Amino acid sequence: MRRKQPTIHEVAARAGVGLGTVSRVLNNHPAVRPETRARVLRAMEELGYTPNPHARRIAGGRSYTVSVLLPFVATEFYRRLLEGIEGVLLEKRYDLALFPILSQARLRRYLESSTLAYLTDGLILASYDLTEHFEEGRLPTDRPVVLVDAKNPRYDSVYLDNRLGGRLAGEYLARFPGAIFAIKVEEEPDKAFRHTVFSERLAGFREALEEAGRPFPEDHLYVTRLSQEGGRLALRHFLEKASPPLNVFAGADQVALGVLEEAERLGLAVGREVRVLGFDGHPFAEEVGLSTIAQPVEAMGARAAQLLLERMQGYAGPPREVRFEPLLVERTSTLTPGPAPYVP
Amino acid sequence: MRRKQPTIHEVAARAGVGLGTVSRVLNNHPAVRPETRARVLRAMEELGYTPNPHARRIAGGRSYTVSVLLPFVATEFYRRLLEGIEGVLLEKRYDLALFPILSQARLRRYLESSTLAYLTDGLILASYDLTEHFEEGRLPTDRPVVLVDAKNPRYDSVYLDNRLGGRLAGEYLARFPGAIFAIKVEEEPDKAFRHTVFSERLAGFREALEEAGRPFPEDHLYVTRLSQEGGRLALRHFLEKASPPLNVFAGADQVALGVLEEAERLGLAVGREVRVLGFDGHPFAEEVGLSTIAQPVEAMGARAAQLLLERMQGYAGPPREVRFEPLLVERTSTLTPGPAPYVP
DNA sequence: ATGGCGTGTGGAAGCGCTTCATGGAAACTT
DNA sequence: AAGTTTCCATGAAGCGCTTCCACACGCCAT
C-alpha cells in the first residue's frame, strides 16, 4: 500500500558511508569532506530522499519546517510575499507549510491544537491584526513568530510604510492640473485581512494634499471593495463631479485597472484627461503602463524569513521593526503626452 | 522555555502499569480492564501528560493528518463543507491541512510532492473533476481519497443530486402564473472548479418544466458569472422579454440576491411580481427571505470525512457513492402575499 | 621514533511512542 | 484434574532521525 519513503540508512548504504555522515550532511555540519558530501547528496537525489520532519523533531528537537499563515493564497500580493520567503528559507534547507487561515477563530484553533503547529520551528504570519483578537496581542505559541504586513510590539514585524506611500501619491498628483479624486478600498473589520493599510494610504494622501495646498473635498472620495468593477464605478462617479482632466489615486492596482478600463471605454485620453495612480506594483501594472506606488513585497518576505531564521537560531533580543518604503513608479497612465505638467 | 513534558514512562510508573498499557489506553485499545484504564487516565491527568504527536507519527507510521484540497477557501460553500469535515475529524483527533489548489497542474504537483508523504494519511478533494485531467481519473497517490462535490468511479464520492434540485425548482415554479426564466451560472472549463453542477441544475429544471407542460423558450435563459451583478443584469434582461409576474430560477443564491436587489431597485413586488428561487441554502438566504433549493453542505462534508476515516482504518471495499438530496425551502421571495397561487 | 593534535568518519544510544511476541491468571471445557 | 481458551498486561524491538563518543589517519613537532 503505502509507498515507503527511503530513510537515512538507505542513503548511507548507497553512498557507502555511515549513518552519522548522512546526518551531518543534512545538518550542514562542517566536518564532512567535500567529496563525501557530494556523494551523499547524489545518493539522496537518486533515491528521492526527503528527511522525515517528525523524526527530526523527535530526535533533535527541531523539524526544519516553518509555517506561513496568511489569509489568502491566490492573490498577487501573497504570491510575491511567498516568493521572498521561500527564497531565503529553502536555501537554508527549511521546508514550508502553508496555511490559508481566514478567520481569527481559526487562527487561534490552529495555534492551540494543531499538531502541525507543534511540528513547526517557527511561524510567519501575514496580514493578521493580533491586537484586537488576542489578549495583549500575544499568540498562544512558544515558537518564534515574525509578522509581515502587520505591526505588533511583541513580535518582530516587517511592514510597508503605507502612509508614506499615500504621501508620495498625494505629492505627485498635486503637481497636475485638474481635480483630484481618491478611491479607498473597503476594509472588512471582522476578517483578519490587512486591516488598516488602505486607511493609512488615504491618510498619507490627504496629508500631502493639504500640505500642497490642494483641496480634497469629502465627495471626491469613493469607497469600494477590492475589485476592478469598483474602479469602473468610481470613475463614472467622479465624472459626475468634475470634468476632465481628472487625477485619480486608486489605492490599489486592481482598482486602478478598472479605472483605466472605464476610461478607455469612455474614450478618455489616459495620461492627460484621466491620470491614474495605483498602489502595489503588481506585474500587470507594468504591462498596461499603470503608474503606481510600488511595494517591495518580495524583499519584505525575504526580510521576514531572515528575522525568523535568527530567532530560530536563538537570538532573543527585543522585537524588531523593519519598515519598508514604497517607491513611485511613473508610467504612461500619469504621463501627459504633450504639454509639460502644470505646477501651481 | 518549555518545561519538559512528562512521557509515557512517567505515566506508567505513576499508575503502576507497563508501557504498553499506557499506550493502549492512548489508542483506545479494548483490551484494558476498566479499573486499569481509570488509573492510567488519572495518572495522566495528575502529570498533565499529553502525548507527543511526532513520536506517535514516527512510531505508528501514521500522521493523523488529513489534507483537504479545494479550489477556494473564501466562499460560503467551502466554509460550510470544512465545518462538516472538521467536526468529524477533530473529534477523532485528526489534524487538518488545507490546500487551496486552483489548477490541475498544481494539484498534480502537490500529489507528487513529498509533503504529502509525511503529512497526510488521507485526502479529501472537493469539486475537482479528475476524469479529464488524470489518466483514467486515477490520482498519483497511494493514500485513501474521498471526493466531495464530485463523482468518479474509482473513489468514494459524496455529492448532491443537482439534477434533482433543478427538478424541484422546476416543479415548484411551474405552479405559479407568469413567465418562467432561468439563470445559468457559467462554468469555466479550464479551472477545476465544480464543473457541471450548474448544467445539471438547469437540465433538471428543464425536464420538470417539460413534464409540467410549461414552455421554456431558449431566450428565457441568461448565462452569467457567479456574482450578484449577474443577477441584476439578468432581471433587466428578463423584463425586456416579458412583463410581471416573472418567475426566476437563479441557479445560485448569490445570483438570486442580485435579482432581489434589482427588483427592489425597480420597485417590483418581490414574491408576487417577481418570484425568485435560489440554490444553495446559504445563511444570507434566510436573512433576506430568499426561497432556495438548500444543499446539506455540512452533512456532505461530515459524510466525506466518515468515509475517509473508514478507508484509513483499512476498509478496502469498492468505491462508494453517497448521493445527497436537496430540499426546497420556501420563503417570502416566492410566497405570493394575497391571492392563492394559480395552478394551471 | 614518540607524542600530540586536528580532521573525518562510524555507529551505538536515545528521543517518545506503537507494536508484538510472550506469558500469567482466571474462566471455561472435557 | 488437566487441558483449553480468553482476558490483560509486560517490556523488548523498532520507527527515522540527532548526538556524541570512539577511533583511524595524516601531519607536525620533539
Contact across the interface for A102 and B229, Cβ inside 8 Å? no
How confident is the model at residue A324, as a pLDDT? 97
Dist CA A55 CA B51 (whole Å)? 15
How confident is the model at residue A336, as a pLDDT? 67
Contact across the interface for B54 and A50, Cβ inside 8 Å? no
Domain span(s) for CATH 3.40.50.2300 in chain B: 65-160+298-325, 162-295
Of the listed ranges A145-149, A194-198, B324-328, the least confidently predicted one is: A194-198
Q: Tell me: the pLDDT tens digits for B20-44?
A: 899 999 888 888 888 899 999 999 9
- Please give the class, per CATH, of domain A8-60: mainly alpha
Inform me whether the C-beta atom of residue B311 falls under 8 Å from chain A C-beta atoms.
no
Q: How confident is the model at residue B164 (pLDDT cuts 50, 70, 90)?
A: very high
How confident is the model at residue A193, as a pLDDT? 56
Q: Tell me: the pLDDT tens digits for B172-188?
A: 999 999 999 999 998 76
Cell of B151: 463523482
pLDDT for residue A13 is more than 50 = yes
How confident is the model at residue A2, as a pLDDT? 43
Of the listed ranges A167-171, B73-77, B189-193, the least confidently predicted one is: B189-193
Please state, rounded to an integer, the average pLDDT across all residues of chain B. 87
Q: Which of B4, B5, B8, B54 to mutate to test the interface with A (most CBs of A within 10 A)?
A: B54
Q: What angle do CA B196, B199, B204 make, to 5 degrees?
A: 125
How confident is the model at residue A111, as a pLDDT? 85
Q: Domain B162-295, CATH 3.40.50.2020 — does that match?
A: no
Better pLDDT: B138 or B263: B263
The average pLDDT across B94-118 equals 77
- Shortest distance between the Cα of A107 and any Cα of chain B, in A, equals 13
Q: What angle do CA B190, B193, B197 make, to 5 degrees?
A: 110
- Shortest distance between the Cα of B130 and any Cα of chain A, in A, equals 21
Q: Tell me: the pLDDT tens digits for A25-43?
A: 998 888 889 899 999 999 9
Supply the Cα-derived Rg of chain B in whole angstroms: 26
A252 in Cβ contact with A226 (< 8 Å): yes
Question: Residue for cell digits 520551528?
Answer: A121
Q: 3-state DSSP call for residue B299?
A: helix
The average pLDDT across A328-339 equals 80
Residues of chain B found within 8 Å of residue A115, distances taken between Cβ atoms: 53-54, 57, 64-65, 95
Tell me: cis bond preceding A245? Omega within 30 of 0 counts: yes
CATH topology classification for A65-160+298-325: Rossmann fold (3.40.50)
How confident is the model at residue A97, as a pLDDT? 84
Q: Which of A4, A44, A54 to mutate to test the interface with B (most CBs of B within 10 A)?
A: A54
pLDDT for residue B342 is more than 70 = no
DSSP one-letter string for A51-93: --HHHHHHHHS---EEEEEES-SSSHHHHHHHHHHHHHHHHTT
B23 CB closer than 7 A to any strand C atom: yes
Better pLDDT: B135 or A8: A8
A27 CB closer than 7 A to any strand C atom: no
Q: Which residue type does B311 have?
A: R
Q: Where are the extended beta strands (E) located within chain B? A: 65-70, 95-100, 122-126, 145-148, 156-160, 179-185, 221-224, 246-249, 274-280, 291-294, 321-324, 327-329
Which chain A residues in 199-238 sit with Cβ < 7 A of strand C?
Answer: none
B8 CB closer than 7 A to any strand C atom: yes
The average pLDDT across A253-276 equals 92
Nearest CA-CA partner of B327 in B263, B264, B281: B281
Q: How confident is the model at residue A130 (pLDDT cuts 50, 70, 90)?
A: confident
Domain span(s) for CATH 1.10.260.40 in chain B: 8-60
Whether pTM exceeds 0.85 = no
How confident is the model at residue A344, as a pLDDT? 47
Cβ contacts below 8 Å, chain A against chain B, sum to 68
Contact across the interface for A2 and B61, Cβ inside 8 Å? yes
A14 CB closer than 7 A to any strand D atom: no
Residue B137 DSSP code: G
Nearest CA-CA partner of B52 in B109, B116, B4: B4
Of the candidates B57, B97, B100, which has its C-beta nearest A54's C-beta? Answer: B57
Q: Tell me: the pLDDT tens digits for B199-245?
A: 999 999 999 999 999 989 999 999 998 888 889 999 999 999 888 88
pLDDT for residue A142 is more than 70 = yes
Rounded percentage of chain A residues whose pLDDT exceeds 70:
93
Nearest CA-CA partner of A247 in A314, A341, A149: A341
Inform me whether the C-beta atom of residue A47 falls under 8 Å from chain B C-beta atoms.
no
How confident is the model at residue B237, as a pLDDT? 94
pLDDT for residue A341 is more than 60 = no
